[in-house]
């Protein structure tokens, strides 16, 4: 997967533009309301979503598999935040605890075992009273069902690009199993794209109860 992402970034550079996602803007509002000060972003990419939280006065750390994306975060966005070069499937990289975790996309690119591992790892690094927010693609997306079927709602939509598509039941199941004792809420989100169209996602918010 490293080679795929490196090729994507090297060929398309800042392919999603510099503006933050709608999902990140909404997550920032939740984090502000919940008093979040320290945010982890697994799959930070070249950092377009990181600036939303930085501008709100939060500290941000990232994890990113693509060296090219990290270089773009430094050179094009001027980000100096800590970014671990590695795969989210190898989390945790340390024992640091965060009161906010934001992950846009990414999760649905992993198989079931890897998705569960990432969610458990994030849950383990979330502070009591903290909030983690994931944006995952919906089964109502136009590419659902395209390409070879690898499993239930799991397709190779392009060679080397595999995606798991969520509905309400799978959101509740996967996040519920990985976040015991948390409060789970989710809602559909139509994410505007730089092309002028939009994509259907779920914005999933899980809060860890204070002990």
List b or e across 77-97, with b for residues whose CB sees 16 or more CB atoms inside 10 angstroms: bebebebbeebbbebeeeeee
Give the pLDDT band of residue 55 (cuts 50, 70, 90). very high
**Is it the case that residue 1 has pLDDT exceeding 60?**
no
Please tell me the class of the 2-208 domain: alpha beta
Domain ranges across the chain: 2-208
Give the pLDDT band of residue 193 (cuts 50, 70, 90). confident
Please state whether 119 falls in left (phi above 0), alpha (psi between -120 and 50) or beta: alpha
**Is it the case that residue 43 has pLDDT exceeding 90?**
yes
**Is it the case that residue 210 has pLDDT exceeding 90?**
no
Quickly list DSSP for 36-54.
Answer: --EEEEET-TTSTTHHHHH
pLDDT score at 194: 66
Q: Which residues, 6+ apart, have CB-to-CB distance to 188 below 8 Å?
A: 138, 200, 201, 202, 203
Residues in a beta bridge with 126? 98
151 burial level (CB within 10 Å; 0-12, 13-18, 19+)? exposed
Tokens representing residue 98 in the block: 């965060």
**Residue with structure tokens 């092309």?**
195
Quickly list DSSP for 65-97.
Answer: S-HHHHHHHHHTS---S-EEES-GGG--SS---
206 burial level (CB within 10 Å; 0-12, 13-18, 19+)? buried
Give the pLDDT band of residue 16 (cuts 50, 70, 90). low
pLDDT score at 77: 86
Tell me: the pLDDT tens digits for 130-158? 999 999 999 999 999 999 999 999 999 99
Give the pLDDT band of residue 13 (cuts 50, 70, 90). low
Percentage, residues of the chain above pLDDT 70? 90
Give the pLDDT band of residue 175 (cuts 50, 70, 90). very high
Which one has a higher pLDDT value, 29 or 2? 29
> What gap in Å lies between CA 138 and CA 144, rounded to an integer?
8
The number of angstroms, rounded, from the C-alpha of 118 to the middle of its chain's C-alpha atoms is: 10
Q: Any alpha helices (H) in the chain, and if so which ranges? A: 2-12, 22-33, 50-55, 67-75, 112-124, 168-178
């Amino acid at each position: 997967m490293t080679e795929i992402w490196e090729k994507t970034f090297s060929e398309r550079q800042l392919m999603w533009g510099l503006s933050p996602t709608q999902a990140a803007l909404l997550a920032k509002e939740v984090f502000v309301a919940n008093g979040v000060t320290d945010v982890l972003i697994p799959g930070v990419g070249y950092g377009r979503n990181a600036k939303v939280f930085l501008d709100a006065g939060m500290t941000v750390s990232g994890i990113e598999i693509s060296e090219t994306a990290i270089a773009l975060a430094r050179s094009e966005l001027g980000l100096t935040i800590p970014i671990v070069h590695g795969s989210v499937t190898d989390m945790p990289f340390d024992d640091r605890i965060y009161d906010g975790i934001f992950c846009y996309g990414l999760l649905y690119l992993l198989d079931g075992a890897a998705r569960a591992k990432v969610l458990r790892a994030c849950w383990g690094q979330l502070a009591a009273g903290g909030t983690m927010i994931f944006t995952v693609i919906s089964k109502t997306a136009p590419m659902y069902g395209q390409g070879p079927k690898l499993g239930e709602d799991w397709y190779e939509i392009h060679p080397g690009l595999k995606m798991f598509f969520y509905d309400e039941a799978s959101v509740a199941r996967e996040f519920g199993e990985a976040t015991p004792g948390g409060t789970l809420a989710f809602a559909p989100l139509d994410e505007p794209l730089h092309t002028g169209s939009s994509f259907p996602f779920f914005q999933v918010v899980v809060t860890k109860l204070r002990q």
